[in-house]
Amino acid sequence: MTARRTSETIADTLIADIRAGSLAIGDALPTERELCERFEASRPTVREALAQMQLRGYAHSGAGKRPRAAKPSLQGVLNSAAEHIREVLGGPESGAHLEQMRQFIETGAAREAALRADNLQISKLRVALERNFAAIGTPEFAASDIAFHREIVGVIGNPVILALHDMFVSAMIAHRPAKAEPKLYDGNSYEEHRQIYQAILESDVIAATEVMDRHLSRSYRARLSAPQSAHGGISQGAEP
């Protein structure tokens, strides 16, 4: 507890220096050794303070470089938070929560796209759909899947929502287990993509929303492992 309070004090003090201008944006922060001497703290405590500053958007660092003073930005804070969230992505509950967030965002995005997508946005969505079709059964399908959904979210024109989508969707898809029959699975996903595109093209708000919601629900449930049978082995329930 003492070390944690000390790390918070160090972070708060350095942040106050940045706000006051004593540390200019872009300046290198004091070395770990200097901070250890200034605050009479251990290196792990100082490193925790620097990590807190990065999470709050007041510091950034490249590989092997000293952290530098930074001004918080929405994108920077989201990027920092994303790294921490990805660390727990493997847990079933956290994964389900992120899937729920994705479903909420993309179902709303499909509705908005059907309402107000312009010709240019629909053209980009069509190109993404064609690339998705061409990638069926190949390792490139996942990337084309992300690109198709991203074009729909992009119609909203909200950089915060798009940033959240970019941060988590690629990570979620990367954690998906390999399918036994990827061509069949990809084909099912593509067909649902095609239906979503058609609904948006026809400005059918109800269909766009319902198909997107069904698509994401099916995709998630299809990845859940079957429960163990009381008689041994895996139960053979109907696939969602």
Per-residue pLDDT reduced to its tens digit, 169-187? 766 666 666 667 889 989 9
Radius of gyration over alpha carbons of the chain, in Å?
A: 23
Rounded to two decimals, what is the model's pTM?
0.66
Q: Which residue has the tokens 């290198």?
A: 28
Buried/exposed code over 54-79 (b: 16+ C-beta within 10 A; e: otherwise): bbbbbbbeeeeeebbbbeeeeebebb
Q: pLDDT digits over 30-68, tens only? A: 999 999 999 999 999 999 999 999 888 899 887 678 899
* Domains, the chain: 2-72 (1.10.10.10), 80-222 (1.20.120.530)
- Per-residue pLDDT averaged across 101-123, rounded? 94
Torsion on CA atoms 124, 128, 129, 134, rounded to nearest 10: 140
Q: pLDDT digits over 147-175, tens only? A: 999 999 999 999 888 887 887 776 666 66
CB 150 within 8 A of CB 165: yes
A 10 A CB-CB count for 141 gives 23
Q: pLDDT digits over 193-227, tens only? A: 999 999 999 999 999 999 999 999 887 776 665 66
DSSP H/E element including 69: strand 68-69
CB 52 within 8 A of CB 7: yes
Residue 24: the pLDDT is 94
